[in-house]
Structure 1
Amino acid sequence: MAPTIFLLLALFSIVESTAGEGGGLKLELIRHRLSPDNVSPMAAKSQIWPETSQFIVKIAVGTPPTEVHAIFDTGSDLFWAQCRPCVKCYRQTNPIYDPSKSSTFRTLSCKSPQCHLTGSGAACSGTDTCKYGYGYGSGSTQGELATEKMAVTSRSGATTSFSGVVFGCGHNNSGTFNANEMGLIGFGRGAVSFVSQIGPSVGGRKFSLCLMPYNTDPRISSSLSIGSGSEVKGPGVITAQLVRTSDQTSYSLTLKGISVGKTFVPYSTSGPPAKGNAILDTGTPPTLLPKELYGRLAAEVRRQIPSKPIDDTLCYKGNLGNLVMTLHFDGGVNLRLSTIQTFNKMPDGSFCFTAMSVDDKDALIGNSMMANFLVGYDIDNMTVSFKPTDCTKIG
């Protein structure tokens, strides 16, 4: 869910995060060390659940804790939750987090360097309280930046807690969020992201997760691991080098083209593709492709599938055949996709293509196309690794 961060009245300054010796997190210009409250520097583990076309992580926020069900998003940085008092909040099934009832809630002042971490959307004007504003294609959130105690719990019941995590207390939130989605947790590369804040204290700014196919039973959970031990290794692993771009949030790769069966469809017909032209974004369900590329790809998909599509769509009621697609990234990295990643099974039994056309020069690889891969992100080494996995069986 790649955001458009809007600064309400002032620009934020850039503060880089670095891993210190001994696994602690050191933020440049900030005399603050964020460490786990009750564990040694090893991976923090949590679970992840499907929620319609998104994926949810449960985070315990505050003292006493309120359980927040947040959309997991590698396309943004800030973790925010709906927060009382609500100026404007969308309907939420579970209790809304109330900072007045938490003994560990602390608002940030505009003088605090934490107010200006990269990716926070912070702005200050006429008040000492650090405000923020974050916009997405499907909604927005506004409120105040604060620190709070947070905890994640593994399937085995092991809980890892952290004090002083910066997050957004959202008082004005709108968009297409549903009643089970209580906020959004950003896992981008920016300094304010959840993984950038807690990762170094548990062995590194790295994490891995496994997303289930579309329409998986929402009672089935999968795995999320942060820090040491989260690395994706073993037979069948494909590793690609991430590209540094001007966007300090995104996980960017260079997509050279897509094969449908043995037919290669180049990314562009007018020359080599730009470096870092494809973003991995778990917060966006479909894969978004430039219009011209999508048109050529869709024509080849129609040609190779034996069944007739429904009307003028890439949805099918019949047999999809043995369609195999391959994403070709720079460096000779080829990611083979089955119909599990390229077609979503809809409630009516039809299968619909997981990509769509957009008016943009860059591509975005959405969560549907990453289903049934154990994916490891390593910010410190700028790599991403994929391993074919049945994600419904590793919760």
Structure 2
Amino acid sequence: MPSSMAISYYFLFLLFPSVLRLFLDDCSDRKVEAYGFKEMTQNFQSQSHVVSLSSLMPAQVCSTPAQGSDILSRGELQVTHKHGPCSPLKEANKKIPSLTQILMDDRSRIKFIHSKISNQDLVTNFASKIPANSGYSLGTENFVVRIGLGTPMQNLTLILDTGSDLTWVQCQPCVANCYLQQDPLFNPSASSTYSNITCNSHACAQLQQSTGNSRSCNTTCIYQIAYGDGSSYSEGYFATDTLTLSDLSSSDNVFPKFEFGCGENNQGQFGSADGLLGLGRNQVSMVSQTAQKYRKLFSYCLPSTRSSTGFLAFGSQVGDHDHHSSSSSSAPQYTPLLIDSNIPSFYFITMMGISVGGKNLSIPQSVFTTSGTIIDSGTVITRLPPAAYSALRSAFRQAMSEYPVYSIEYTYVMLDTCYNLNGYDTITIPTIVLHFAGGVNLSIDQSGILIQANKTHYCLAFAGNNAGNDLGILGNLQQRGIEVIYNVTGGKLGFGTSACSTETAVSTPPPMTAPAPAPAPHPMETQALCTSINIILPQQLI
């Protein structure tokens, strides 16, 4: 005579296929509703970082990641922080700016970008001489690369900027004014391949179209460019010469007749760098001028700390994970690149949502579509729409509730969520994931979540815009440590694996807690449930 327990198991066995089918059907429907965030459960497995505070402090010694030694041998350019110990600009290290100064300069840059959207002119002091048609405050938290210019090659250190088109350098004889730079000024007369561009040339017309520069021209094409802080500018001859992007004895990375600005009247917040490398989208940018060779394909990995190095890659070197990362073999995730006719130089992307500590925040999609979002290598702190930032801040504060708050708001310009961590060696911070169109999930490196303000104060490294229609910006602090891939021709932006990170954070699994009664799960939560279900059968039925 079978026992009552055996009979129960028998009926459970008969009902199990039907129940399982209903469950899986519901999962299938829920996955369709889940906003296209693919593989979300993989990102949610780690809800926090255990961070050593010493890893967020500036180091005095250059520490190149293991994969950094072969960057130059492969024809890539090494990227360093302008004020770090790895920088070729040793003079810059003598004048390291405070966080307050960095944020003030960053705010100037943001203000000018926003003014470009609304067609406002913020430059007044220099407007009578150089109109503010392109560029903005470069700030102080920039990254630099070394390039070669001329024949024979003269080495120069330039600020890389995805928000600018025109590449320019300071030139001899500097007839008007030049700021102090570390390297010798570029000497056009010492290059056998240097040539000025004439006024009636197609190249001069392109310059005017790309920059809005309409200055009268008699014989030689003149460029002039002003920046949004009202005191930074460059002016000189629009010229051509040979650009070299590698120390290798190969012609693969050599570009004759490269168009650039040879500046003889320059002033502003450029530190001791020799000029600027324009990586924007317009015709005069380096990306467009090298399109025949590189197909408008480039990537960079911004070093996660001031004391480490990254890379700038072009063409076939982009996305080469075998030598950039040994920890992961996953392919980059791509989101569409969009164009805005008001500011065509910038790279627009579509933000979809934010997760903190493995939980998707309840932010209406209209919050992000109203503002729009660009990715920018020159902006430091990511700017979010006010509603999105408010949700992020609330979730972050809740996760950090065990730590003492530094309660004086906006002591550090726009940062309003700061902590006094005096006496702590390590802390636990929640993970932050930004979600973009196409199911792309960007997990922010620990160095992009907290920023050190002083010896004891650390702040959330995000800020909110003033208005809901102000342009959102993915800043460089949140891009660090990963390969960011710009496939301009293909119309897509990729986030690759950890390529130059020195991250030492330890990921911890979510705590095991008893489930509490709750309303119907959000589609995101249902997807995680459906993709991670484990069904256990009674041992008697196996």
The residue type paired with residue 169 of structure 1 is C
The residue type paired with residue 189 of structure 1 is R
Question: How has the CA–CA distance of structure 1 residues 266 and 48 changed in structure 2, closer, same or farther, with 3 Å as cutoff?
Answer: same
CA RMSD in angstroms, aligned pairs only: 2.7
1:171 aligns with 2:171: no
Contact residue 384 and residue 472 of structure 2 kept, 8 A: yes
1:239 aligns with 2:334: yes
Match of 1:116 among 205, 213, 216: 205
Question: How has the CA–CA distance of structure 1 residues 273 and 290 changed in structure 2, closer, same or farther, with 3 Å as cutoff?
Answer: closer
Gaps of at least 5 residues in structure 2 are: 1-73, 84-140, 322-328, 410-415, 503-542
Match of 2:168 among 80, 86, 97: 80
The residue type paired with residue 202 of structure 2 is P
Q: Where in structure 2 are the equivalents of 1:2-21 lying within 5 Å?
A: none
Q: Where in structure 2 are the equivalents of 1:26-45 lying within 5 Å?
A: 45=76
- Which residue of structure 1 aligns with residue 406 of structure 2? 310
Match of 1:104 among 168, 181, 193: 193
C-alpha deviation, 1:193, in angstroms:
1.0
Q: TM-score, normalising length from structure 2?
A: 0.58
How many pairs align?
344
Contact residue 367 and residue 387 of structure 2 kept, 8 A: no
SS at match of 1:273: helix
- Which residue of structure 1 aligns with residue 157 of structure 2? 69
Match of 2:178 among 83, 89, 102: 89
- Which residue of structure 2 aligns with residue 190 of structure 1? 282
Contact residue 79 and residue 167 of structure 1 kept, 8 A: yes
Match of 1:297 among 377, 392, 407: 392
Question: How has the CA–CA distance of structure 1 residues 338 and 210 changed in structure 2, closer, same or farther, with 3 Å as cutoff?
Answer: closer
Deviation per residue, 1:238-290 (Å, 9 max, x gap): 11111122132111101123222244446668x35337811111122222234
C-alpha deviation, 1:322, in angstroms:
3.5
**Distance (whole Å) between structure 2 residues aligned to residue 58 and residue 84 of structure 1:** 19
C-alpha deviation, 1:157, in angstroms:
7.1
1:147 aligns with 2:240: yes
Match of 1:368 among 477, 482, 487: 477
- Which residue of structure 2 aligns with residue 253 of structure 1? 349
Question: How has the CA–CA distance of structure 1 residues 126 and 112 changed in structure 2, closer, same or farther, with 3 Å as cutoff?
Answer: closer
Contact residue 232 and residue 387 of structure 1 kept, 8 A: no
The residue type paired with residue 440 of structure 2 is V
C-alpha deviation, 1:48, in angstroms:
1.5
Question: How has the CA–CA distance of structure 1 residues 98 and 378 changed in structure 2, closer, same or farther, with 3 Å as cutoff?
Answer: same
Deviation per residue, 1:117-155 (Å, 9 max, x gap): 25345434152222222233353222221111111125x
- Which residue of structure 2 aligns with residue 342 of structure 1? 449
**Distance (whole Å) between structure 2 residues aligned to residue 253 and residue 166 of structure 1:** 28
Identical-residue share of aligned pairs (%)? 30
- Which residue of structure 1 aligns with residue 79 of structure 2? 48
Higher mean alpha-carbon deviation, 184-193 vs 352-361, is at 352-361
SS at match of 1:391: coil
SS at match of 2:430: coil
- Which residue of structure 2 aligns with residue 227 of structure 1? 315
- Which residue of structure 2 aligns with residue 134 of structure 1? 225
**Distance (whole Å) between structure 2 residues aligned to residue 256 and residue 349 of structure 1:** 34
SS at match of 2:203: helix
The residue type paired with residue 228 of structure 1 is S
Question: How has the CA–CA distance of structure 1 residues 275 and 112 changed in structure 2, closer, same or farther, with 3 Å as cutoff?
Answer: farther
The residue type paired with residue 60 of structure 1 is G
Report which of the two has the higher share of strand: 1
- Which residue of structure 2 aligns with residue 40 of structure 1? none
Contact residue 148 and residue 245 of structure 2 kept, 8 A: yes
- Which residue of structure 2 aligns with residue 9 of structure 1? none
Question: How has the CA–CA distance of structure 1 residues 104 and 266 changed in structure 2, closer, same or farther, with 3 Å as cutoff?
Answer: farther
Question: How has the CA–CA distance of structure 1 residues 211 and 304 changed in structure 2, closer, same or farther, with 3 Å as cutoff?
Answer: same
